[in-house]
Amino acid sequence: MALKSTRYRKVEPAALNRRAVPRHNVKIRRASLNRPNKNAISADLVDISVYGCRLEADAVFSEGEEIQVNVAAFDAVKAIVVWQKVKQAGCRFTDALDPEILRRLTLVS
């Protein structure tokens, strides 16, 4: 039974996204990943922020693994895998991404 104060008004769902900066949905297929002592693999960038990104790739990642993310004409960005699922990985950039590069990447997709 609903409380009297919420019975007649719509209650919004709880905010699940607690990120300090928003992630931007992108679909960039020109990305590649370099991993130490392994061959480079192609990947899709799914979302990105100044502090990290989410990737889709046909590879198995391990948490804590260091990688380099390469996108088109931009310099490689060092990142650390913080989580992984089937064909996806969430990465935190070692250094924050330049906001101008972020803007250009979101315009490309």
**Does residue 70 fall inside a structural domain?**
yes
- pLDDT at residue 86 greater than cutoff 90: no
pLDDT in tens, 25-73: 888 888 889 988 888 899 999 999 999 999 999 988 889 999 999 987 7
**Does residue 4 fall inside a structural domain?**
no
Give the domain range for residue 79: 24-97
Contact between 96 and 13 (Cβ < 8 Å): no
**Does residue 10 fall inside a structural domain?**
no
Contact between 79 and 61 (Cβ < 8 Å): no
Please provide the average confidence, as pLDDT, over all residues in the chain: 84
pLDDT recorded at residue 88? 93
**Does residue 36 fall inside a structural domain?**
yes
**Does residue 1 fall inside a structural domain?**
no
pLDDT recorded at residue 43? 92
**Does residue 49 fall inside a structural domain?**
yes
pLDDT recorded at residue 56? 94
Q: For residues 85 and 41, what is the distance between their CA atoms, to the nearest angstrom?
A: 17
